[in-house]
Amino acid sequence: MVEMNKYRKKPLEVEAVQIKMSQEFYDFLENQLHNEDDELLVLDCMGNEIWPQDDPEEWSWNDASCIQLNTENTFLQFKEGDWLVKGIDGSIYPVKDETFKKVYELVDDSTKVVTW
């Protein structure tokens, strides 16, 4: 008979930012999270690429439903309200808001990290 034990996550601190569909947030991703070989796209609700392909004068960030980051090793897709978490090994991964609120709590409001 196989028996399972119970485990608890070790307390550790991570850095995280909540996703807001805006040019400012896109610029943050562009500058902080990927290199020139990666592909950073903004998609509409149907999964069609709307940025950087289209002229930004012709659409609003309200049209965007998710952001997609394709790297050599990773495919990430995240939506407004999700959180991007930087793990202890430096990896970046999205977490749904509901899950984030269950798993994480703010350590100290004065420990804000300006950039990754």
Has residue 93 got a pLDDT over 80?
yes
Where is average pLDDT lowest: 17-26, 54-63, 66-75, 81-90?
A: 54-63
With a threshold of 0.85, does the pTM exceed it?
no
Please give the average per-residue pLDDT across 50-60, as a whole number: 63
pLDDT at 115: 56
Please give the mean pLDDT across all residues of the chain.
79
Among residues of the chain, what percentage have pLDDT more than 90? 17
Measured distance CA(56)–CA(95) in Å, rounded: 28
Residue 21 makes CB contacts below 8 A (sequence gap 6+) with 42, 61, 62, 64, 67, 80
**In residues, how long is the chain?**
116
Model confidence band, residue 65 (pLDDT cutoffs 50, 70, 90): confident
